[in-house]
Amino acid sequence: MATPVPVLRLPKGPDPNSRGFDPNSPRYIALCRTTVATTEAAGGDEEELQQEQHARSVLRERFLRCLLAMNNKKVRFNMHENVTVEATFGSSDIDVLNFQVSDLHTPIGVQKEALIRSQDVISFTFDA
């Protein structure tokens, strides 16, 4: 039977003003400077920068809509060492460093609520 496991410790979340992690915090620097910087080729060229910014916004909007579509869906995470876990997807933070999930089916039991570090995930799938 699937039994909920008590929470031992949760990783520290983003700062409370919902702007994600402080980019100067050691944790952030250690994990990843996620935002992909503008390409050097674009240089100072105003028009190229604008094109790149447009591409970014189109891609990001699509990605965010995918995240929205994923909300409350059963998702299967493929992680390192051939570990596969199932959970109900909640959302991710703006830097895509963590995923919030519910009913995480781990090999030792079911965790009611959990945060999964995106660094530990290789891919995840769901059915729309």
Nearer to other proteins, 34 or 102 (CB): 34
List the Cα angle 45/52/54 in 5-degree steps: 125
For residues 103 to 122, the per-residue mask of contacts with other proteins, x marking binding by CB under 8 A and - elsewhere, is ---------------xx-xx
Per the CB < 8 A criterion, the answer to whether 66 and 52 are in contact is no
Amino acid at 113: E
Beta-sheet pairing, 74-79 with 83-92: antiparallel
Q: Is 21 in the site for other proteins (CB under 8 A)?
A: no
Q: Which two tokens stand for residue 40?
A: 């050097």
Closer of 5 and 34 to other proteins (Cβ): 34
Q: What angle do CA 1, 82, 21 make, to 5 degrees?
A: 90
For other proteins, give the closer residue by CB, 81 or 108: 81
- Of 38 and 91, which CB lies nearer to other proteins in the complex structure? 38
> Interface with other proteins by CB under 8 A: which residues?
18, 32, 34-36, 38-39, 41, 51-52, 55-56, 58-60, 62-63, 65-66, 69-70, 78, 82, 94-96, 118-119, 121-128
